[in-house]
Amino acid sequence: MSQFLWKRIHACLQAPRINPGFKGYSPNPGFNHGLQTVIPRYASSTGIKEQQAGAHVESLNATKSSNYKSFSEVPGPRRFPIVGSLLSMIFDKDFNLEKYDVFWRKMRNKYGPIFRMDMPGMPQMVMISRPEDCETLTRVTMDNPLRISSFSLKKVRSEADDDYFEGKFGLLISNHEEWGRVRKRVQIPMMKKKNVTAYMAGMDQVTLDFMERIAELQKEHGEMPSDFIMELYKWALESVSLVALNRRLGCIAPNLPKDSEPMILIREANNMMDALNKTEFGGQFWRLFPTASYRKLKNSHDKFLKVADENIRETEAQLLAKKSQPGGEEEEELTLMETLLLTPGLSRKDVVTLILDMLFAGIDTTSHTLGFTLYLLARNPECQAKLQEEIDKVVGDHEGPLTSRHLDQMTYMKAVLKESLRIFPLVMGVLRNIEKDTVFSGYLIPKGSAVVASNMFMCEEEEYFHKAKEFIPERWLRDRPCGAINPHVSQPFGLGTRMCVGRRIAEQEIYIFLTRVMQRFNVDYMYKDMGCLTRLVFVPSEPLKFNFTERRERFT
């Protein structure tokens, strides 16, 4: 860049703004009073109508009030004409797409619990990390929770051959009426406890088979191999396929060929996650021309779609054959796919797209969560022993599949998962596009802005969690021995009406896995401390070279 041009750009820079006194930031003196007046506190049991009414009052009052700071005063890094904060981001020595949480944490520490980032091709973005602000975001977006991410995936699907998706882009991408139409009709089938527990026996058998795979790998290598995460991917795909496709794919078999369907699905799902990380969080140049990351996303998506669609069609054929048999519809409960296909208001393409996203999103998420959880249990043997004690007491000498009654009694295990997701969340936070002018931390943020609730950073702070850096599952038990926990601080499955629709399925998979692995093995880890890397969702930074030893007092 010529020196003249650089000087012209530099002359247009806006000076960075830092919240006065941060660290140790506190709102202006009138903020607490204003917050109580405009944004009344709501108990978690508050009715939706009251929340919506409160959001409306907040927006109305906020726009009339002169007590709030303007949007131009929101702190943040320098902004350039046209490209906004992009240059400040990519030229920062700590910016790395594979570790983007480092950069965002740096921004948060520098500018405070609210700061602004302007990115080309994106709405004005504001990052928040105060529980009060997160509660406000939940309420003002309750009625119409908008997401602005996954533009690149939507573009890929809009360009699919033969108009495969027919404009039905799925819950991950859709907004407004289209999202509401689908969400309203799939929420009960996917989140009703009875529907999810119907798959428990099958999930349990998958996990028991995987425990044998762990024993084989331990015997062969003396510990888990460096690519053990790939084994977890196989277990996760096998488990979610039970729900999505109502059958097993054979993922856990040893030495699967690279060109086998399970390996293709796993490989291309991982490639899609990596490419999405670059297209969504990197430069948006793919909007102008097909960048390498966009081409990778499209290529992997097409391959994943081809194999997944073949499996979906096979499942549909099996369901049709079952119905054609005498009494076929009466002898068995409807599968999830059957239930969805028979749901008024859902087209076949709606259902196919949902199943496709379940397969795509169900591989990395549960696998990485278990990788992090096993690591934390290995590094905290007293917590591991306490979890094993609970499992031994609840399950005992029970023979046969685990039941929902067993999982309902596992209070400590649920605390273990919550604590693991606090320390190692899968995403940095929750993004919503606001449709009303709204006050966050004393600043009036205009409608149309993208607001990110940075839950990851709040979960790291002593202000919200006693001994925040320590793995203490007990903090989540009913009596809250480490102090009260604000429900808006940790939101691993999202917030409000757009909370993850697959939450019950994912939790059931994880609880069954933890029950069976802790029932049979002690787990140890003797290598480098674990961190996280970014691939759309966070992934373990180190190989999962766990050491699983049989609990011989139980298995003799």
Instruction: Tell me the CATH number at 303.
Output: 1.10.630.10
> 305 phi and psi, to 5 degrees?
-60, -40
Burial of 344 (0-12, 13-18, 19+ CB in 10 A): exposed
Confidence at residue 3, expressed as pLDDT on a 0 to 100 scale? 42
> 439 phi and psi, to 5 degrees?
-95, 125
533 SS3 class: strand
Q: Which residue range is the domain that position 263 belongs to?
A: 151-550
Q: Which residues pair with 98 in a beta bridge?
A: none
Burial of 72 (0-12, 13-18, 19+ CB in 10 A): exposed
Asked if the structure places residue 372 within a domain, the reply is yes
> In whole angstroms, what is the distance from residue 231 CA to residue 490 CA?
29
Confidence at residue 45, expressed as pLDDT on a 0 to 100 scale? 33
241 SS3 class: helix
Confidence at residue 283, expressed as pLDDT on a 0 to 100 scale? 74
> In whole angstroms, what is the distance from residue 302 CA to residue 3 CA?
45
Confidence at residue 60, expressed as pLDDT on a 0 to 100 scale? 45
Neighbours of 75 (CB within 10 A): 19
Which amino acid is located at 143 in the chain?
A: D
> In whole angstroms, what is the distance from residue 346 CA to residue 26 CA?
49
Contact 185, 341 (CB under 8 A): no
Burial of 241 (0-12, 13-18, 19+ CB in 10 A): buried
- DSSP H helix total and E strand total for the chain: 21, 10
Asked if the structure places residue 401 within a domain, the reply is yes
Asked if the structure places residue 346 within a domain, the reply is yes
Asked if the structure places residue 17 within a domain, the reply is no
> In whole angstroms, what is the distance from residue 439 CA to residue 30 CA?
13
Confidence at residue 55, expressed as pLDDT on a 0 to 100 scale? 45
Q: Output the tens digit of pLDDT for each of the chain's 556 residues.
A: 444 333 433 443 344 444 544 444 333 333 333 332 233 322 333 333 334 434 444 544 444 556 899 999 999 999 999 889 989 998 999 999 899 999 999 999 999 999 999 988 788 999 999 999 999 999 999 999 998 768 899 999 999 988 899 888 888 889 999 999 999 999 999 998 999 999 999 999 999 999 999 999 999 999 999 999 999 999 999 999 999 998 899 999 988 999 999 999 999 999 999 999 999 887 778 988 999 999 999 999 999 999 999 989 888 888 888 777 766 555 567 889 889 988 999 998 999 999 999 999 999 999 999 999 999 999 999 999 999 999 999 999 899 999 999 999 999 999 999 999 999 999 999 999 999 999 999 999 999 999 999 999 999 999 999 999 999 999 999 999 999 999 999 999 987 789 899 999 999 999 999 999 999 999 999 999 999 999 889 999 999 999 999 997 554 4
And the tokens for 361?
């999103």
Confidence at residue 280, expressed as pLDDT on a 0 to 100 scale? 86
Domain count, the chain: 1
Asked if the structure places residue 138 within a domain, the reply is no
296 SS3 class: helix
> In whole angstroms, what is the distance from residue 514 CA to residue 380 CA?
15
Asked if the structure places residue 336 within a domain, the reply is yes
And the tokens for 379?
């590094």
Nearest to 527 by CA among 377, 375, 417, 372: 375
Does the bond joining 469 to the residue before it have cis omega, within 30 degrees of 0? no
> In whole angstroms, what is the distance from residue 267 CA to residue 263 CA?
6
Contact 445, 451 (CB under 8 A): yes
Asked if the structure places residue 456 within a domain, the reply is yes
